[in-house]
Amino acid sequence: MQLSSQYDPSSIEDKWYQVWMDQQAFRSVPDQRPPYTITIPPPNVTGILHMGHILNNTIQDVLIRRKRMQGFNACWVPGTDHASIATEAKVVQMLAQQGIKKSDLAREDFLAHAFAWKEKYGGIILSQLRKLGASCDWERTAFTMDEGYSKEVIQVFCDLYRKGYVYRGVRMVNWDPSAQTAVSDEEVNHKETQGHLYHLRYEIEGRHGEAVVIATTRPETILGDTAIAIHPEDERYTHLHGARAIVPLVGRSIPIILDTYVDREFGTGCLKITPAHDVNDYEIGIRHRLPVIDAINPDGTISAAGELYVGQDRFAVRKQIAKDLDAAGHLVKQEPYTHAVGYSERTNAAIEPRLSQQWFLKMKDISQPALQAVTDGEVKLIPDKFVNTYRHWMENVRDWCLSRQLWWGHRIPAWYIVGTDQVVVAENEALALQQARELTANPSLTMADLSQDEDVLDTWASSWLWPISVFKGISEPENEEIRYYYPTNDLVTAPEILFFWVARMIIAGYEYRGQKPFQNVYLTGIVRDDQRRKMSKSLGNSPDPLDLIAQYGADAVRVGMLLASPAGNDLLYKEILMEQGRNFANKIWNAFRLVMSWETSQEVPGDRDLLAIDWMTNKLDASLLEIQDHFDKFRISDALMSVYKLIWDDFCSWFLEMIKPDYGKPISQAAKEGTVVLFEKLLQVLHPFMPFMSEELWHGLRERPASDLICLSSMPEAATPNLANLEEVALIQEIITTVRSFRKDKGIAFKEPVALFVNTEQAATFERYRSLLDRFLNLSELSFVADQPGGTGSMRVRSHEMYIPMANVDTEAEREKILKEIDYTEGFLTSVMKKLSNEKFVGSAPAQVVEIERKKQADAEAKLEVLRKSLNELGGGN
RNA sequence: GGGGGAUUAGCUCAGUUGGUUUAGAGCGCUUGCUUCACACGCAAGAGGUCACUGGUUCGAAUCCAGUAUCUCCCACCA
């Protein structure tokens, strides 16, 4: 068999994914096994795979594949989110390119376009996940606007309304003038923005020449001014109590009011009040029963109520009104000023605080169990530092604005009775009509008398049901699936959406199932570039994951991503990580090539073979325990690093070097079989991380039926490792390393056999591992001595001293080397003795700890003895 | 402004209720090696006063206080 020395993933990955699909390897249906369930954080239906998805989904796949191999009924539910704002924005953009304006379309027509778009491009991301190797049960693929799912979303809204949690009210919302919708607090990014602080002069009504000066960053909002506020105890302005001011340009008379909200230190200490366009002003307006002048239209232009500049954009007006105010003598000064401005996360438009009718969910009561669950550890956050953040947020939770002024989404199931201000909320038209008839006591009402709310629900008002609704847990609360799979086990997501999504899922879980939705929440970091900048399209600093997979292979990409990403830490992406993953794959591939190249004989295994297999078996057991421990603590990177070192260092660098036959010679059949068995176990441990290559080699190592897949095999379980054996081999390895170092140092080529003389009390150990020493050190002779033979150089491991003959012994260099070792060992001994001579230490430290120190002392003293003896023999003395 | 987190080798991070550590890993770096699985490799090696200052303790990278720097979340002064 001729195999390339470089592993080529491209020819293998698609092949195995197809086999897995054909054999329904990832299909899950309820059965007798315990379930292990993950519901995917549904990506935007129109999204494409980015580096964050790679990290996130690799972690999920590692978890799910491992549990699948550990005998759980592993179920990973995939799907997509309709992502109302993002998707609608894309559709609007797509239509614009075709010369179609959204405003020219009827709702139904627009939705037809949107669904057509979704059919065409929706779910591309899911097919991309297959390239990564994601072992989802694709038959379960869900979408938050599927018919059944939508039904549950509506049902929940109606239920919450009936329970009194949902209400409708006029509130100041974050208005996105570009998308023309309200967005949630969480979807607003505050950014430091360079602007100006304008000092404006308002004349006092009826007092000629007298004026008050206010400071504002938004002069255009004076069109909506309905008061000036001063602090009641501000002595500079007591003469203004009860007076009225005139709004410049507009000429409107407004009261001067007293409110402690005003900060006397800021600006002039006078604050203009625009209740319609500022959150704080709105609240002050309510306290003082001020009129509200809505001077800005939904699209960001000045409204008729503003009187001036009607129809012009707010930013254009800001510039113009400053000039006009200046010309009219009202602009006292204008200074550069940096302040935080809110921008829409979706459209990046400057947010306009705006009053509007919205639907809200009261959060205080409904969120209590969810707060409790996380504080009590019923739901675990990993890493747990997020618990504090979570608690802080939940304790100060604000009502959730549920409505969005969009078409793409779940239309709010509220109907207004035309000509009245009455509203009914119901699951469907028929029920709504029935309720409306009862409400109005008018049985002759028809649908024509009802008009449905135009708004849709916030996306999160559907995705918060995700772990429930993918199993139809709302509409069929007792069905077999929800009872089997819920609560799910782990959720893997980004900390950015801890409140958007995770907290709300927990709330919904307790409200609708009376149980948590998942046990553990693993919060990944954010993928950044090597300068710690977030990966973004506009910066162009994000590689295309599919290119990376094509270039390095999915297994390598998975390994590369995981190697540098402990939970909760950001991942600094570097191409070199991908190379490391690829190199690892290549290493394994070559180990495979080596083993496959061995010819076998029927001889019994040699001593070296037996030692090697025995040690590797122990090493594997020890590593299995370590790996399990890492997984228990969600230390996925560490678990991978353990596998990496187990394969690269222990298996390839040591075991294969121990067992491989001399060139051109066969290996005993039994030894080869032992090697294959170990290799198979390694591949199984590796499988969750590198599913494709492990499956390929699983089938390459041994003839097996096509149905014998590694992904469905049973994960090896750890036996108790023989620690004495591991300890002994560790000593032998240390000796090998030391002698190799000595050879290199003295320029003795490996090809040149050497004699090794050893002064040790453990000659038996050396003898027992003689065959390994021969193999790694190319020994011509191994003998035990009591003194250093002449013409040799020395080296020490612990208290064993070894000598190798040398042509020219540099006595001075030897002396120096030994003195240096003495120096270090004495320092070490001193620190140990400091502890041991302290009665309080011996008295209060645990016996085990004292014992360890005594051992350290004995070892150090033995070593010093050896060193001093050598020094004497060199003719030095000390 | 309020709250969290961090600060350990050039880089990214471990260090698990203070004592198996005069501190570990991976990558990078240095040196030697065309050793017949692999140069996407082998072998050996260098590299850290654990941010700083105090304190608690027989003992501190680990606990406490303060300082400095960085970072995240929340709220936001017009």
Max avg pLDDT among A495-499, A553-557, A750-754, A857-861: A553-557
Nucleotide nearest to A663 (CA to C1'): B36
Distance between the alpha carbon (CA) of A814 and the C1' atom of B47, Å: 24
State whether the beta carbon of A646 lies below 7 angstroms from any atom of strand B.
no
State whether the beta carbon of A484 lies below 7 angstroms from any atom of strand B.
no
Read off the pLDDT of each residue in A802-808 and give the average, rounded to a whole number: 88
Q: Which helix (H) or strand (E) holds A8?
A: none
Tokens of A204: 């006092």
Residues A487 and A75: their CA atoms lie apart, in Å, by 12
State whether the beta carbon of A183 lies below 7 angstroms from any atom of strand B.
no
Residues A322 and A654: their CA atoms lie apart, in Å, by 78
CB atoms within 10 A of CB A734: 13
pTM of the full predicted structure?
0.91
Distance between the alpha carbon (CA) of A497 and the C1' atom of B9, Å: 35
pLDDT digits over A256-313, tens only? 998 888 888 777 888 899 988 887 888 888 888 889 898 998 888 999 988 889 999 9
Read off the pLDDT of each residue in A126-132 and give the average, rounded to a whole number: 95
For residue A585, give Cα distances in angstroms to A57, A415, A593, A672, A686. Answer: 20, 61, 12, 22, 11
Find the radius of gyration of the CA atoms of chain A.
37
Cβ-contact A684, A713 below 8 angstroms: yes
State whether the beta carbon of A579 lies below 7 angstroms from any atom of strand B.
yes
Residues A7 and A11: their CA atoms lie apart, in Å, by 10
Read off the pLDDT of each residue in A185-199 and give the average, rounded to a whole number: 77
Which ipTM did the prediction report? 0.95
pLDDT at A875 over 70: no
Continuous H helices in A337-479: 368-375, 386-395, 429-440, 460-463, 466-469
pLDDT of residue A282: 85
Would the CA dihedral through A584, A585, A588, A590 be positive or negative? negative
Tokens of A743: 């050879």
pLDDT of residue A93: 86
DSSP, residue by residue, A719-747 = PPP-HHHHHHHHHHHHHHHHHHHHHHHHT
Maximal C-alpha separation, chain A: 120
| Protein CB footprint (7 Å) on chain B nucleotides | 2-6, 11-14, 16, 19-20, 22, 25-28, 32, 35-45, 58-59, 72-78
State whether the beta carbon of A288 lies below 7 angstroms from any atom of strand B.
no
pLDDT at A876 over 70: no
SS3 category, A638 = helix
Residues A582 and A92: their CA atoms lie apart, in Å, by 42
List beta partners, residue A272: A228
DSSP, residue by residue, A782-846 = EEE-SSPPTTEEEEEETTEEEEEE-SS--HHHHHHHHHHHHHHHHHHHHHHHHHHT-HHHHHHS-
Q: What percent of chain A has pLDDT over 90?
A: 60
pLDDT digits over A105-124, tens only? 999 999 999 999 999 888 89
pLDDT at A242 over 60: yes
SS3 category, A302 = strand
What is the end-to-end Cα distance of chain A in Å, rounded?
63
pLDDT at A609 over 80: yes
State whether the beta carbon of A301 lies below 7 angstroms from any atom of strand B.
no
Residues A836 and A857: their CA atoms lie apart, in Å, by 9
Angle formed by the axes of helices A554-563 and A51-69, to 10°? Answer: 100
Amino acid (1-letter code) at residue A303: S
Q: Which of A40, A64, A61, A20 has its CA nearest to residue A125?
A: A40
pLDDT of residue A878: 41
Residue nearest to nucleotide B20 (CA to C1'): A852
SS3 category, A190 = strand
CB atoms within 10 A of CB A590: 16
pLDDT of residue A869: 86
Read off the pLDDT of each residue in A398-408 and give the average, rounded to a whole number: 89
pLDDT of residue A373: 93
List beta partners, residue A590: none
pLDDT of residue A272: 92
Residues A636 and A59: their CA atoms lie apart, in Å, by 8
Continuous H helices in A646-769: 657-659, 669-686, 691-701, 723-746, 763-768
SS3 category, A489 = strand
pLDDT of residue A235: 86
